[in-house]
Amino acid sequence: MMKFSAITPFRLVRSLGVAGARNPAIYLLICEGPAAATVEADLLAETAVQLGGSIHVNTASQVLRDGLPGWQDGSTRLIYFDAWLPDLVAALDRHSAALVQDGGQLLLLADEKSAERLLSTAPNLRSRLTDVFQIVPDDLSGGLPA
Amino acid sequence: MALVGGIGSGKTTELLLTMDRLRRHDDAVNVFLEASEFTDFSETNPGAMLAAIGLRLCARIGKLFGEPSEQVRSASDKLRKLALGTTEWHGEPPDSEEWDGMYAVRVPGLMKPRFPELKERVAEVKDLLETVLSRFLERDSQITVLVDGLDRLIEPARFREFAEQDLRALRGTKVTMIVAAPLLLWYDHSRFLDDYFDVVKHIPVAAVDPKESRFLKDILKRRGADELMSAASINDICRFSGGVLRDLLELAQSAAQDAYRGTEDRISKQHVREAVRQLGNRYLAGVGTTRRTIIRRLLRDEQFSPSSPVSRDLLVNRQVLEYSKGGRDYFRVHPALVEVLPEPA
């Protein structure tokens, strides 16, 4: 089992905010299935409240089918790995340098198994990750993750 | 020239610095190409790199030398069609009552793969490129093309597939090429580097002794590290980066963000330790029994040979770093990985 630091959507969005909208960043966020929907909702809400913006959300399957549109507005995108898609991961790896070159911020949300496979099979992408976190839903008191 | 180095070793930085130096010369014409401009890497598309160079040079002609000649303009148009594809109109009647006499056939371009007869077209692209080049060469321009990104094709065979036709075609064109190439070519026995490049520059990790490296410390200090952390923390970041420039910056950023999230205004040793653990865990992902055995042997006996596929994987993934001192290459386990490597059962 991988042991990455825990973070909540509140604290992650705070980091994104301080880095600035034009500061490119790629985060790998590890979250097991049932909590992923809550985390996604929390991220959207925190982004709206803290940054006054929104997150463009796609599943990995959608990105594989339709491609990842370029974005120049410094906004945040989230790709949720709804399945392990080696072709998509290979493409993200080879294009890792271009993923956020225009200042966007990319969040990759995956379960532990997919995250571990991504880290071990996509060395270019791994090298460009800003950080890797176990992300857990915010508790209502806004306290630290357990 | 081939620039060979591992992931995050600073190849892109070297290319950008080279470009910056070349800009000082009035007769320099420099083209910086990112591989994803001319390929999606899904399959080889020989000739695409040549076409991309040609298009970039065409775009410069008007600005540098005024109105291009008819010959150059024609070559430019043909290059554009070859590179980007075109729509051709055919007069054969299809089976449709609403036929209006013509139907469109999309002819894909070189810069979009899937074009079976591409290899035969490399010579055609080369001729067109030479027409464009002539305008520069008659003014004694020194053309340098810097190609980044092909090193992300980690396997030497894949890199060769992409590069060899275009590189061979450029021989004798008076264009200087500087190409970032994957680290494994350095350890490959195929002589590809010797055959295709006049100069091969290996970029190992930036510092043989990261903890003592003034160079690494200066990089952090120029970014304000002195004001945010102690000298001991700076030393730790340098040491645990293993001398890999990207990891150096990553560790510093990760420690700073950890401090910020903890609402502290200085980076403590604890924040650095946490950043090291985070980086080490990244390198630990996917390291199974066989890899751990090789890693432990390197730690214990300082023995490592990049001859087996598993060993080469460790190099590509930066779990093992290559150093060079006095012309001798040697290997070390990434120090951040050592920090989180579980004890053998």
- Which pair of structure tokens corresponds to residue B266? 């200085």
Task: Give the Å distances, CA to CA, from B154 to A130, B145, B244, B281, B315.
Answer: 22, 21, 18, 22, 11
Give ipTM to 2 decimals: 0.86
Residue B3 to residue B178: CA distance in whole angstroms: 7
Chain B from 279 to 298: CB within 8 A of any A CB: 281-282, 284-287
Chain B from 152 to 211: CB within 8 A of any A CB: 152-154
Instruction: Give the pLDDT score at B1.
Output: 94
Element (H, E) at B177: strand B175-182
Distance from CA of B11 to the nearest CA of A (A): 13
Q: For residue A120, give the nearest of B12, B286, B340 by CB distance.
A: B286
CB contact (8 A) between residue A4 and residue B281: yes
Find chain A residues with C-beta within 8 A of B260's C-beta: 14-15, 18
Instruction: Give the pLDDT score at B63.
Output: 84
B45 phi and psi, to 5 degrees?
A: -140, 75
Q: Which residue of chain A comes nearest to B12, CA vs CA?
A: A97
Residue B60 to residue B51: CA distance in whole angstroms: 14
Selecting from 3.40.50, 3.40.1130, 3.30.160, 3.30.70, what CATH number does the domain B2-203 have? Answer: 3.40.50
Instruction: Give the pLDDT score at A143.
Output: 54
Residue B152 to residue B31: CA distance in whole angstroms: 20
Residue B259 to residue A117: CA distance in whole angstroms: 29
Radius of gyration of chain B (CA): 25
Number of other CB atoms surrounding residue B277 within 10 Å: 18
Residue B308 to residue B294: CA distance in whole angstroms: 11
Instruction: Give the pLDDT score at B114.
Output: 32
Q: For residue B34, give the nearest of A2, A7, A98 by CB distance.
A: A98
At A66, the pLDDT band (50, 70, 90 cuts) reads confident
The ranges assigned to domains in chain B are 2-203, 207-345
CB contact (8 A) between residue A93 and residue B152: yes
Name the average pLDDT for chain B: 86
Ramachandran category for residue A133: left, alpha or beta (phi over 0 → left; psi -120 to 50 → alpha) = beta
CB pairs under 8 A between A and B: 80
Instruction: Tell me which residue of B115, B119, B143, B160 sits closest to B54, measured CA to CA.
Output: B143
- Which pair of structure tokens corresponds to residue A2? 């991988």
| Residues of chain B predicted below pLDDT 50 | 112-118
Check if B278 contacts A (Cβ < 8 Å): yes
For residues A117 and A83, is the Cβ–Cβ distance under 8 A?
A: no
Amino acid at B98: E
A45 three-class SS: helix
Distance from CA of B150 to the nearest CA of A (A): 9
Chain B from 89 to 148: CB within 8 A of any A CB: 148
Instruction: Give the pLDDT score at B117.
Output: 37
Find chain A residues with C-beta within 8 A of B12's C-beta: 97
Question: Which tens digits make up the pLDDT trace of B119-168?
Answer: 667 888 899 999 999 989 998 999 999 999 888 887 888 888 777 888 88
CB contact (8 A) between residue B41 and residue A124: no
Mean pLDDT of A119-128: 93
Report the predicted TM-score, pTM, of the whole model to 2 decimal places.
Answer: 0.82
Alpha helices of chain A — where are they, by DSSP H? 9-19, 33-46, 60-66, 86-94, 96-99, 112-121, 123-128
Q: Which residue of chain A comes nearest to B249, CA vs CA?
A: A130
Alpha helices of chain B — where are they, by DSSP H? 11-22, 48-65, 70-84, 118-137, 156-170, 192-196, 214-222, 225-228, 231-241, 245-261, 269-284, 289-301, 309-316, 335-340
Find chain A residues with C-beta within 8 A of B287's C-beta: 120
CB contact (8 A) between residue A120 and residue B316: no
- What does the CA dihedral B164, B169, B175, B177 come to, rounded to 10 degrees? 0
**Domains in chain A, CATH or no CATH each:** 6-135 (3.40.50.300)
Find chain A residues with C-beta within 8 A of B270's C-beta: none
Residue B333, classified by CB atoms within 10 Å of its CB into exposed (0-12), middle (13-18) or buried (19+), is: buried
Question: How many Å from the N-terminal Cα to the C-terminal Cα in chain B?
Answer: 47
Q: Which residue has the higher pLDDT, A26 or A2?
A: A26
Mean pLDDT of A79-102: 87
β-bridge pairing A76-80 and A105-110: parallel
For residues A94 and B150, is the Cβ–Cβ distance under 8 A?
A: no
Find chain A residues with C-beta within 8 A of B318's C-beta: 123, 127
Check if B36 contacts A (Cβ < 8 Å): yes
CB contact (8 A) between residue B36 and residue A97: yes
Question: Which tens digits make up the pLDDT trace of A5-35?
Answer: 999 999 999 888 877 767 788 999 999 888 9
Q: For residue A2, give the nearest of B41, B281, B317 by CB distance.
A: B281
Instruction: Give the pLDDT score at B118.
Output: 39
Residue B337 to residue B285: CA distance in whole angstroms: 10
